[in-house]
């Protein structure tokens, strides 16, 4: 059977450039700012013939996608506000290409924090003080000029040395885990929140950096202060607080690995490293638990 008369169809398409990396410097007199991004720009639309008929006339090249990101970074005043910058890219793409119906932009913002010298913020020097990143994902659809925005933070490593317990869990013939009332709790926070509005006029005026800072603070404050009964319970507390504080958000998801730190058995060396005497732990690289949840607002009830 030839390829063309198989009983198949092209179900979904999306293409563009990934891993477009750039550093944007803003020079404002003596003080300079910089933002380093990794950007993905993907397109969809009336492009089926490029797959099914080798028709390249509908292909905006992936090289053009890369140039678009770089040119808009050059022109934009908002590169450091990644949700706004991503909206600018998607808006340009749909204005520029009549046959493109969807633009997808994902941005990772890497960390460059201003250095201090003798206690004073330095005007043009920065430090990578953590591998945690800020993320966003923006989709713009020509039909109805709809925009969907998700923001996030990833790889924020935290650890607490007490204030975490885990007991009362389900037991069966395969359960060997001991209950604990005091354990190390460590995780790499991966969190995403979805904005309720799909209206680009509304979405242009949201204070995305402030919401990001606030959700990061809710996450770390709750992690530190909650007398944790489990990763699940602490996570839910973070989610309910974030939704209570930020009406612009429809839902919030976390994925938290439970990075196990296990007390070392030093009994063969004649040392007690158990119970209240446990202070040497092995940071177990794998396996780790993985706890995830999405918390969303209930639909408004119809009276
Ligand atoms: N949640 C925890 O907080 N700790 C655990 C789990 C869990 O589901 N399973 N083992 N240890």
pLDDT, one tens digit per residue, over 172-225 is 999 999 999 999 999 999 999 999 999 999 999 999 999 999 999 999 999 999
Structure tokens at 5: 């008369």
Give residue 39 CA to ligand 1 midpoint distance, Å.
35
Strand partners, 273: none
Model pLDDT for residues 223-234, shown as the tens digit of each residue: 999 999 999 999
Q: What is the percentage of the chain residues whose pLDDT exceeds 90?
A: 96
Catalytic choice (17, 102, 109, 246): 17
Catalytic residue among 38, 62, 196, 240: 62
DSSP type of residue 2: -
| Mean pLDDT, rounded, for 90-106 | 98
| Tokens standing for residue 51 | 């797959």
Cβ partners under 8 Å of residue 119, min gap 6? none
State in Å, rounded, how far the first CA of the chain is from the last one: 59
Instruction: Tell me the two tokens of residue 171.
Output: 């037991």
Q: Are 72 and 41 in contact (CB under 8 A)?
A: no
CATH for 13-296? 3.10.270.10
Distance 182 CA to ligand 1 centre (A): 13
- What is the C-alpha to C-alpha distance for residues 237 and 232, in angstroms, rounded to an integer? 9
Single pTM value for the model = 0.95
Q: Which pLDDT does position 60 carry in this prediction?
A: 98
Is 260 catalytic? The answer is yes
Q: Report the nearest atom of ligand 1 relative to the CA of 260.
A: 11
Ligand 1 centroid to Cα of residue 256, in Å, is: 11
In the chain, where the domains are located: 13-296
Closest CA to 87 of 210, 208, 230, 172: 208
In this structure, the chain runs to a length of: 303
CA distance linking residue 169 with residue 27, whole number of Å: 56
Q: Does the pLDDT at position 3 exceed 90?
A: no
pLDDT confidence of residue 39: 98
Among this protein's residues, is 150 annotated catalytic?
Answer: no
Q: How far apart are CA 197 and CA 181, in angstroms?
A: 43
Q: What percent of the chain has pLDDT over 70?
A: 98
Residue 1: is its pLDDT beyond 50?
Answer: no
Around ligand 1, the residues with Cβ closer than 6 Å are 166, 177, 230-232, 258, 289, 291
Q: Three-state DSSP class for 85?
A: helix
Is the distance from CB of 5 to CB of 75 less than 8 angstroms? no
Q: Which H or E element spans position 139?
A: strand 133-141
**CA 240/CA 302 separation, integer angstroms:** 23
Predicted confidence at residue 5, as pLDDT, reads 61
281-283 vs 261-263, strand pairing mode = antiparallel
The verdict on whether 201 is a catalytic residue reads: no
Task: Please give the average per-residue pLDDT across 144-162, as a whole number.
Answer: 98
Report CA torsion sign: 156, 227, 233, 263.
Answer: positive
Nearest CA to 43 out of 25, 16, 17, 69 is that of 16
């Amino acid at each position: 059977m030839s390829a063309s008369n198989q009983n198949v169809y092209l179900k979904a398409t999306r293409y563009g450039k990934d891993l477009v990396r750039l550093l944007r410097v803003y020079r404002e007199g003596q003080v300079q700012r910089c933002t380093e991004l990794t950007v993905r720009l993907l397109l969809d639309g009336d492009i089926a013939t490029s797959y099914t008929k080798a028709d390249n006339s509908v292909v905006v090249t992936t090289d053009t996608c890369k140039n678009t990101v770089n040119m808009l970074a050059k022109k934009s005043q908002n590169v450091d506000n990644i949700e706004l910058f991503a909206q600018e890219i998607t808006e340009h793409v749909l204005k520029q290409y009549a046959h493109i119906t969807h633009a997808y932009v994902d941005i990772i913002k890497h960390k460059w924090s201003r250095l201090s010298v003798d206690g004073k913020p330095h005007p043009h020097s920065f430090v990578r003080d953590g591998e945690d990143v800020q993320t966003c994902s923006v989709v713009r659809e020509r039909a109805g000029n709809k925009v969907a925005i998700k923001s996030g933070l990833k790889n924020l490593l935290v650890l607490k040395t007490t204030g975490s317990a885990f007991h009362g869990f389900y037991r069966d013939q395969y359960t060997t885990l001991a209950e604990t009332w005091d354990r190390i709790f460590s995780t790499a926070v991966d969190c995403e929140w979805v904005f309720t509005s799909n209206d680009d006029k509304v979405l242009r005026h949201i204070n995305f950096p402030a919401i990001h800072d606030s959700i990061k603070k809710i996450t770390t404050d709750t992690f530190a202060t909650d007398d944790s009964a489990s990763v699940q319970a602490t996570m839910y507390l973070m989610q309910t607080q974030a939704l209570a504080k930020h009406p612009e958000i429809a839902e919030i998801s976390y994925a938290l690995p439970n990075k196990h730190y296990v007390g070392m058995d030093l009994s063969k060396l004649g040392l007690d490293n158990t119970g209240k005497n446990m202070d040497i732990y092995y940071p177990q690289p794998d396996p780790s638990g993985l706890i995830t949840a999405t918390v969303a607002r209930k639909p408004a009830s119809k009276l």
